[in-house]
Each structure stands twice: as C-alpha cells, then as structure tokens.
Chains A and B, each alone.
Chain A
Amino acid sequence: MNASRFDLWLGLPLAAIALLLPFTGPSDFMLNLATLVMIWAVFAIGFDFVFGLLGMVSFGHASFLGLGGYALALATQMWGLPFCAGVSLAIVAGALCAWLFSFFALRVSGIFFALVTLALSQLLYILADSKLRAWTGGADGLPGVARPGLGGIDFFDSTLFYWYVLAVFALVMAAVVVLRRSPFGRVIAGIRQNETRAEQLGFDVHRYKQITFIVSGGISGLAGALLASLLMYVNPQMLHWTTSGDVIIMTLLGGAGTLWGPVIGVLAFEVLKEWLSGWTQYWYGILGLIFILATLFFPKGIVGELQERYGQWRDKAARRDGRIS
C-alpha cells in the first residue's frame, strides 16, 4: 500500500479548504474556530510523536502545552521580548519539560508510563495553580497575551492571525512529513514495531525515545504559545490532566500514527463540540458516547480506517489489472 499517495489525496482537499476559507466571507467565529482547530492539530501532531509513532500513552502533554503558553505570556509581558523570541522560548520550555519528564517516565513502560506522566503533569498543574501564583497569576491566569508583530501587520485581525497560524501549521506538517520519512523516523517506527530487534541491532532505544519525547514536547510548547496568543489568555486549565485526556481522545478518534489522523481528529472533535454544545448542555457526555462508539467500530480511527480501505481497494485494483493483462 502506498501511504504517501493516500496522505496526498487527503491533504490536497484539506489544504484547498484552508486556503480558500478566508475568501468565503467567514464570520470571526468561523475563522477563530478554524484557527483553534489548526493550533490543537499542531498539539495533537506533537502528541502523536509519542502516542502513534512510539506507541506510548502519555498523560502529561498538558504540561508541555501549558508551559508553552506561559512561556510566551511571561516572555512578552514580563520580560518585554518580541513575539518570535516568546514562541522560541515556548518551544524550548516544552522540550525542556519533556526532557525532565523523560528521566522519570522512560524508566517504565505501558500503563506505568501513563501514570508517571500523569502524576508529573498534575504536580505542575498544582504548582501553577498555587505555589507559583506570582508567575502564573494562579487560577485567574494571565490575560493580555501578545499576538505576533511582523512588519506592522495587525494580527489582532482574525483573518491575518488565521494566515499566521496556517503558515506555522503548514511548516509543522512539512517538518513532520520529513521527519517520518527520514532515517531517524524509520528507526522510531522500527522501535515501535520491535524494540528488542532495534536494540539488538545496536540502536540506543532509550536515547531515541528520549529525543522523540523532547521533539514532541517542543511541538506541544509551540501549540501552547499559539493557543495563548489566539485566546490572548493563559490559565492553569491548559496544564490540567483533562487537556491531556482531550488530546488522547482527539488523536484516537482521528487515527493515531497516521499523518492526518491527529488533524482530522481535532477537526471532528471541535466541530462536534460546537454543534452539540449549541444544542444541549450535555454535549461532553454525548461526545464521550460518540468516542466510545467510534473506538468500537473504527478502532484505527477515522483516517486509519480510510487508509486501510484505500489499501484494500488498491490491492484489489492491482490484482484485477494483473489478471487482465
């Protein structure tokens, strides 16, 4: 099966929609929702490095997202740094936090990895909520987070900020495509499929996992900075375990380990959420039900399922052509 052709077929219409959306006269609400989806998609893609590519369930990615948000807020508000420096700092903060977590979390595997990451991230949440109030504003959070400033463009305008986020999103997607197809990416895929074999060949499996975890943390930190900038606000909720839970659900829904799965998962989650919450106050429960049904009927997620159908269809086509010729 040709996964990259499938990724292209799925990516082209999505790219077309993203590029055309600002020209269809959308409301600010629509544009902000689309921007939010792209930012969360960056987060989910970063998360999927650990979840889909390494096959490890992290329950602590809220920390990297939240730290990214706070890093941007503090850098631009307290230290008066430019937006770009703030975003760079957010990436470094996410990566550094992942690096610290890795010393504890990578000693264990399976359910224990999930528990250790959960415990560490809840610790950070509680610290941000209480002990570090002077820095984080406690439960009130920090309002007035900056928007990018680039050559006098007004990024407080929803459309312009949309373009900014779309550009970052495209860069992240491109980087992910490259990394997945790189020699490094191949080793990571190998480690997920057979860790013992990779280790016995001579790959320092622990080191590879650590690097992947750090990259994942950095991408999540970037998403955190963009999210804080979109909302112009950060609060400890970004660090809360429910944020980690949401990104797991979104990635599973879309299809872990596939290129577009995390993106489609976020899109489906956010659109359903908007639609259902305008309809009933019990939207979260209904969303949970939909998620349970989805995992029962599409255990590989939306994109994972489509990819498999596409593969079967191509195999069949190839066999039929083979018989005719």
Chain B
Amino acid sequence: MSDIALKCDGVTVSYGALNAIDDVSHSFAQGRIYGLIGPNGAGKTTLLNVLAGRQMRHRGSIHCFGADITRTPPHERAHLGIGRSFQITKIFAEMTVLDNLRIAAQIKHSRFQPFWIAPRYERRLAGDIDAMLELTGLSARRDDIAGTLSYGLQRALELGITLMPDPRILLLDEPLAGVGQHEIASSTRLIKAVSAGRTVLLIEHNMDAIMSLSEEIVVMSNGRVIAVGAPEQIRNDATVRSVYLGEEES
C-alpha cells in the first residue's frame, strides 16, 4: 500500500504546438486536500482529465495507489476509487434528482445491472440515495427534473452523484463556479464535509474558498507547476502574486 494516492511523472499533453500540460511531475499524498490554482488556460482542467482518464493522449505515466494506470480507461479508474466532477455540470438532465442518484448508487452496489424490474435491488439502493439527498440538501427536490434545478442545486446534485460510489480520490473542477452568492457558504461547507478522509484535488477560482478548504496549494501556469505550498505561504509568494493573484485583483 502506497501513501501516495496519485502520482504523475513527466506528463505532457500537446494540442498542436501548444503544450496544455508541460512535463508535470507531482505526487498527491493520500488523505490530503489540494487546491489547484492558476490563470485560465493554465492546464488545470487538462490535468484532471489526464488523471481521470478522459485525456489518454499524453506522454508520461500516472500511478494510483502505486498501480500504473496510464493505460486504464476512465470507467476502470472509477472502480479504483477516482471520482470526478466537471467545470460544466454533467448530470442526467432529463431525469429526476432521485434517478440521477439511483444510477450512481447502482454502480456502487453492482457491476452487473439487471435487465428486469428488481425491487429488492432497488430497495438496497434506497438507503444510500436517502443519505445522499440528506447530505446534499436535495430531499425536497427529489422528484424534480434535474435540468430544471437552479445552477447551485445542479452543482450540489453533481457532487452527490460523484460521491455516491464513495471514491477515495475526488477530483473537483470549479465546484463553486456559477453558484449564486447566497449559496457559496453552504456549498463550501458541503465540500469541506465530503473532503474528510479523502484525497481531494480541487480547482477553484474563489480564493477565500480555496484557501480555507485546502491543506496544500499547487499553482499552475502555462502547463507547468510553478509553486507548491501551504495556503498562507502561497498567498505571500511573489511569483504567484505576479502570475495569478495580482491578475485577479487588477
């Protein structure tokens, strides 16, 4: 058993002449919460894509708990415990909130999905679904069509879907983007609650949120990791201020 949850070695992703990720080598320790920051286009989303298996065309290698997963397809990585939410919400928009969580619960309970109506199986899912409705505060909206929810609630649902299989590693891409001001505080609390006991890579532009949530900050710029450190250290780092924080303030 390795206490490194995720490790990338010399990872490079090229789009034509542009290196979206440029020779990134970094290890993410088990059980730690990492904040991934950097200006738009720095390569943060691309890095999560590489880790989750959405971007398989890259140089270098990826290890998960010591196992080489460089060639492992995304659905297999999910079974290794990697859960992922997206910058642009990905939910089953035409289904009810309940069915969204139900599908997510199915993958947790069985790799085989029955072709017939299976009341006993559905009952086994019900407990997990109720718990997740409670956690995400969606109990009252369980019968609403997911696509009709407010954006903030859709984000909460996506987080619920992502959490349902109980992933050991959480990759969260801007979970607060588009969330209304009045929902930021509750969303931040929710992320904090679900991060406990997991390895988390969190991309977020809301500085207050990411500095309070993260134990370690990784700063990216032009496809490279340019600084790593504790939140207060990064706040005061001159290079980081010039490439990123300064930009935000101007």
Assess whether B90 is in contact with A184, with CB atoms less than 8 Å apart: no
- Rounded to whole angstroms, the CA-CA distance of A189 and B113 in the bound complex is 13
Whether, in the assembled complex, A186 has its beta carbon less than 8 Å from a beta carbon of chain B, the answer is: yes
| Most chain B beta-carbon contacts within 10 A, residue among A182, A183, A190 | A183
- Rounded to whole angstroms, the CA-CA distance of A27 and B154 in the bound complex is 57
Assess whether B99 is in contact with A203, with CB atoms less than 8 Å apart: no
**Chain B count of residues within 8 A CB distance of the other chain:** 33
Assess whether A194 is in contact with B78, with CB atoms less than 8 Å apart: no
Nearest-Cβ distance from residue B38 to partner chain A, whole angstroms: 23
For B102-135 the 0/1 string (1 means CB < 8 A from A) is 1110110000011111100110000000000000
Assess whether B114 is in contact with A190, with CB atoms less than 8 Å apart: no
Give the residues from 30 to 77 in chain B that come closer than 8 angstroms, CB to CB, to chain A: 52, 54, 74-76
- Rounded to whole angstroms, the CA-CA distance of A226 and B116 in the bound complex is 25
| Most chain A beta-carbon contacts within 10 A, residue among B74, B75, B90, B114 | B75
* 16 more A-B residue pairs beyond the given contacts A197-B91, A202-B76, A203-B75, with a C-beta to C-beta distance below 8 A: A178-B115, A179-B116, A182-B113, A182-B116, A182-B117, A183-B121, A183-B122, A184-B115, A186-B99, A190-B95, A197-B92, A197-B161, A200-B84, A201-B161, A202-B107, A204-B75
For residue B161, which residues in chain A have a CB less than 8 angstroms away from its CB?
197, 201
| Most chain A beta-carbon contacts within 10 A, residue among B74, B86, B94, B121 | B74
Whether, in the assembled complex, A205 has its beta carbon less than 8 Å from a beta carbon of chain B, the answer is: yes
Whether, in the assembled complex, B93 has its beta carbon less than 8 Å from a beta carbon of chain A, the answer is: yes
Whether, in the assembled complex, A198 has its beta carbon less than 8 Å from a beta carbon of chain B, the answer is: yes
Assess whether B117 is in contact with A202, with CB atoms less than 8 Å apart: no
For A104-132 the 0/1 string (1 means CB < 8 A from B) is 00000000000000000000000000000
For residue A194, which residues in chain B have a CB less than 8 angstroms away from its CB?
90-93
Please judge, given known A-B contacts A189-B95, A197-B92, whether A205 and B117 are in contact too, CB under 8 Å: no
Assess whether B113 is in contact with A187, with CB atoms less than 8 Å apart: yes
- Rounded to whole angstroms, the CA-CA distance of A200 and B164 in the bound complex is 12
For A188-219 the 0/1 string (1 means CB < 8 A from B) is 01100110111111111100000000000000
| Most chain A beta-carbon contacts within 10 A, residue among B76, B95, B116, B118 | B116
For A280-324 the 0/1 string (1 means CB < 8 A from B) is 000000000000000000000000000000000000000000000
Whether, in the assembled complex, A181 has its beta carbon less than 8 Å from a beta carbon of chain B, the answer is: yes
Assess whether B90 is in contact with A196, with CB atoms less than 8 Å apart: yes
Overall SS of chain A's interface: helix
For residue B74, which residues in chain A have a CB less than 8 angstroms away from its CB?
199-200
Assess whether B103 is in contact with A190, with CB atoms less than 8 Å apart: yes
For residue B165, which residues in chain A have a CB less than 8 angstroms away from its CB?
201-202
- Rounded to whole angstroms, the CA-CA distance of A271 and B79 in the bound complex is 51
Nearest-Cβ distance from residue B157 to partner chain A, whole angstroms: 11
Residue numbers of A with Cβ under 8 A of B are 178-179, 181-187, 189-190, 193-194, 196-205
For residue B52, which residues in chain A have a CB less than 8 angstroms away from its CB?
200
Assess whether A186 is in contact with B106, with CB atoms less than 8 Å apart: yes
- Rounded to whole angstroms, the CA-CA distance of A202 and B162 in the bound complex is 10
Assess whether A178 is in contact with B95, with CB atoms less than 8 Å apart: no
For B135-153 the 0/1 string (1 means CB < 8 A from A) is 0000000000000000000
Nearest-Cβ distance from residue B187 to partner chain A, whole angstroms: 19
Assess whether A198 is in contact with B103, with CB atoms less than 8 Å apart: yes
Assess whether A202 is in contact with B79, with CB atoms less than 8 Å apart: yes
Assess whether B118 is in contact with A203, with CB atoms less than 8 Å apart: no
Please judge, given known A-B contacts A182-B118, A202-B78, whether A193 and B107 are in contact too, CB under 8 Å: no
For residue B83, which residues in chain A have a CB less than 8 angstroms away from its CB?
200
Q: Across the two chains, which residue of chain A brings its CB closest to B80?
A: A202
Assess whether B115 is in contact with A193, with CB atoms less than 8 Å apart: no
For residue A198, which residues in chain B have a CB less than 8 angstroms away from its CB?
103
Q: Across the two chains, which residue of chain B brings its CB closest to A198?
A: B103
For residue A200, which residues in chain B have a CB less than 8 angstroms away from its CB?
52, 54, 74-75, 78, 83-84, 90
Assess whether A193 is in contact with B92, with CB atoms less than 8 Å apart: yes
For B147-173 the 0/1 string (1 means CB < 8 A from A) is 000000000000001001100000000
Nearest-Cβ distance from residue A232 to partner chain B, whole angstroms: 34
- Rounded to whole angstroms, the CA-CA distance of A196 and B75 in the bound complex is 10
8 A–B pairs (Cβ distance < 8 Å), ordered by A: A179-B115, A179-B116, A184-B114, A187-B106, A190-B103, A194-B90, A194-B91, A202-B78
